[in-house]
A and B are shown apart, each in its own frame.
Chain A
């Protein structure tokens, strides 16, 4: 009994600690800290809650075609997505302007620069002839690590993959360049919008479907460059028409009211579970607090952009998180009604309900993954929040609740009333259906 009590107390303490970290954060040192949601860097708020920057770009060409402008809108959309600004909005304004609204942006100058860049990537030989362009690149990503053997210093670099044609062109160019080693012309320059990013020397033919670009990049520069290479080249350059910082579309009270609603909703669900499922409900309540704590920690640390609908979604998820427990507890009650002991009823209830819990959650996970993977903008962000909610709630409902209940049984708490059974349930055979 005492061992169960210790385990039980331990997990309650863990949940309380997680909850504390989720709300207030945890500072180990100045460098290593976990922000909580009340920290200023804890939550990335969307345009509707915090405001942001509005940038209006004008096409630097006369009479752009509608098709080109549509392309520009889509390209900007992709660049923003690749840089993690999934909640940003891009709209066409008039016939030659594009309006970009970015929530909570730290550095609007960089945003303006990287978004508006034409992003014309060119590989040139020593004589300045273009070998290939960005259209031969299928994928680009920013990475961190050692770029050369023997050099222990790590730096940010951009890793690219070529199309088959690109690979061939690159292979031929490196062969030619390597042959020119004697005249000191054995290098290839890689230029972005006319600026030389890097000009590596070539010592031998390189027949590879990938290459890396090194340079003195910061993390942000590398990821912005990679995003631009990946999203492709604009049909023309964009001039900045105006940049302004705007307030939230929703007032201050919107957020505080939503939080109040969330807390009241949470309390109601906690009470509901306690009233209906008694001791099991109490264990589910602890598991729900675990769920809330983990979600808060994830929100604060993965910089998920939170808009008001996002908050509503998270609050909704609190109601849904107990679903798996409701399925399981109903099953446990059924097993108890069949006259099983508490211990075997809990085991059987969990085992039998498991398939329902897993199947119903997997179907939701399928939708969430599709939204996150293929979605753009708001939908992508929504997919992540949904996925996070389901996975965490499944873990808390299955593992945390079960662990707590086991400790309860270990402490010899075996009154069936506590497990949600009423006296009348035992006397009258109320289970219908095809069970023997």
Chain B
């Protein structure tokens, strides 16, 4: 079994490179944000004469949008279907209207191809349902994007008999997603601080710092992967990151626990040896736990539908990164830190007698 602590610079190197790539990508590329964060438009269509499922609708919309884009959600409400599409990243306010119109036109065309153009029964506007329809009509004065719709969507001419009709178009703010991301960030920082306190109290300060650093490392690289690969990020992604934050600490703590125990029992070993022994003694456990976790979440990823895959993927990535950092980074980092503390102390004491003696 080779000495992980001695080869530490290989692992530190991998970590540092991955972190740097992540930071650079987060700064310059950012995320591919979903409607939860970027805002977008909600289109409501009335479809008559033919039944449809939300799955079919999603497929039609994805095809209409092209370029790998898809609706962020498709919901059915009686004969109505509500389709939400997120704005492109970095879109300016002026471009939004154009974007909205392009999206509306392409989806409308695609739906008309599938379900036929709108046909009305020609009844006069006095139908009781007409009031309801009018109520869902967009507020033209308030929304520039929707104003265009109001002129295009027929508001009179009776009830829809067959085909498809756009009944409203609204833009949606990103507020809730951003709010959630902000509060998630604050809570993560608070959680890190609390974990640091707890680990310092139960172990010592060095272990606390190492554990929290490993945690930050895991989350940073996970965010980096999403930024580099431009995988779409929605509210569920926040929950996934929080899952990783909650569980990735476990591996580290089990190793730290063994280090604590071995430090107590040891007389002559260096910190490096203690760390290396502790890592290997807990290795089977680290591997087996990672396997059982990957067995379940992996099944979710393999069998699940697209949106659940999108939730499982960051967790899988996070678990793998978490395994790497717990096993290959935390132990060596702890040993290096303790060694340098001892060296510093010795230097301060003027080559005193504290010859690698543990407390």
Which B residues are in CB contact (< 8 Å) with A251? Answer: 53-55, 305
Which B residues are in CB contact (< 8 Å) with A366? Answer: 191, 194-195, 198
Residue from the list A262, A311, A375 in contact with B183, Cβ < 8 A: A375
B257 adjacent to chain A (CB < 8 Å): yes
Q: Kindly report which residue of chain B lies nearest to residue A273, judged by CB atoms.
A: B292
B176 and A359 contact, CB distance less than 8 A: no
A330 and B253 contact, CB distance less than 8 A: no
A148 adjacent to chain B (CB < 8 Å): no
- In the bound assembly, the distance between CA atoms of A323 and B307 in angstroms comes to 27
A312-326 contacts to B, CB under 8 A, are 312-313, 315-316, 318-320, 322-323, 326
- In the bound assembly, the distance between CA atoms of A94 and B96 in angstroms comes to 13
A364 and B249 contact, CB distance less than 8 A: yes
A91 and B176 contact, CB distance less than 8 A: yes
A316 and B293 contact, CB distance less than 8 A: yes
A368 and B289 contact, CB distance less than 8 A: no
Residue from the list B1, B172, B186, B261 in contact with A92, Cβ < 8 A: B172
B292 and A58 contact, CB distance less than 8 A: no
**B21–chain A nearest beta-carbon distance, Å:** 26
- In the bound assembly, the distance between CA atoms of A326 and B292 in angstroms comes to 10
- In the bound assembly, the distance between CA atoms of A265 and B308 in angstroms comes to 15
B50 adjacent to chain A (CB < 8 Å): no
A106 adjacent to chain B (CB < 8 Å): no
Q: Taking A242-B135, A258-B304, A308-B308 as given, write out 19 further A-B residue pairs in contact, using a Cβ cutoff of 8 Å, ordered by the A residue number.
A: A73-B176, A92-B172, A95-B142, A248-B75, A249-B73, A261-B300, A272-B291, A309-B308, A313-B243, A320-B289, A326-B289, A356-B254, A360-B257, A362-B198, A363-B198, A376-B183, A379-B184, A379-B238, A432-B280
- A interface with B by C-beta (< 8 Å): 48, 51, 54, 58, 70, 73-74, 77, 89-97, 99, 241-242, 244-251, 253-254, 257-258, 260-262, 264-266, 268-269, 272-273, 276, 308-309, 311-313, 315-316, 318-320, 322-323, 326-327, 330, 334, 352, 355-356, 359-364, 366-368, 370-371, 374-379, 382, 386, 431-436
| Sampled A-B contacts (22; CB under 8 Å) | A73-B176, A99-B42, A242-B136, A245-B77, A253-B305, A258-B308, A264-B299, A265-B296, A265-B297, A272-B288, A313-B243, A320-B293, A322-B292, A326-B292, A334-B281, A363-B211, A364-B247, A364-B249, A367-B246, A370-B194, A375-B184, A434-B277
Closest CB pairs A-B (n = 9): A92-B173, A265-B296, A247-B76, A319-B296, A356-B257, A319-B293, A433-B277, A360-B253, A265-B299
